């Protein structure tokens, strides 16, 4: 990704660095950290797997998952998010909101 100033200069995500530097000579290219990305991705996949087994990881930062039942019921098992209280509390907090807005 690129910062707003670089974007105004025409720099876009996934653009080759040498082209980006021509468009924005003051651009600072920060090297990636694949090991860190991979570790965080694994943590996120672990969290998702607690909510549904119906998911498919497409890459480190992309996953498709079926959360239909969770959203339709508007409940989360208390052991998964004790800071939110019981399923009844979650249902009460989400009452009247569209399923798409419940996250």
Catalytic-labelled residue, pool 62, 79, 88, 91:
62
SS3 32: coil
3-class secondary structure, 9: coil
CA distances to 27, 47, 68, 70, 80 from 52, rounded to whole Å, are: 41, 9, 10, 9, 12
Answer yes or no: 54 catalytic: no
pLDDT > 70 in the chain, percent: 69
pLDDT at 32: 87
At residue 87, the pLDDT reads 47
State the pLDDT at residue 19. Answer: 93
pLDDT tens, position by position, 29-71? 888 899 999 999 999 888 888 878 888 889 888 888 887 777 7
For residue 51, how far is the Cα from the chain centroid?
A: 15
pTM of the full predicted structure? Answer: 0.51
């Amino acid at each position: 990704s690129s910062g707003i100033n670089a974007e105004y200069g025409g720099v876009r995500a996934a653009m080759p660095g040498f082209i980006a530097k021509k468009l924005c000579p003051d651009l600072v290219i920060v090297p990636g950290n694949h090991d860190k990305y991979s570790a965080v991705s694994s943590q996120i996949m672990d969290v998702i797997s607690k909510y549904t087994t119906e998911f498919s990881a497409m890459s480190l930062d992309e996953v498709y998952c079926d959360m239909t039942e969770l959203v339709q019921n508007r409940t989360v098992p208390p052991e998964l998010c004790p800071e939110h209280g019981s399923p009844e509390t979650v249902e009460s907090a989400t009452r009247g909101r569209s399923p798409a807005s419940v996250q």
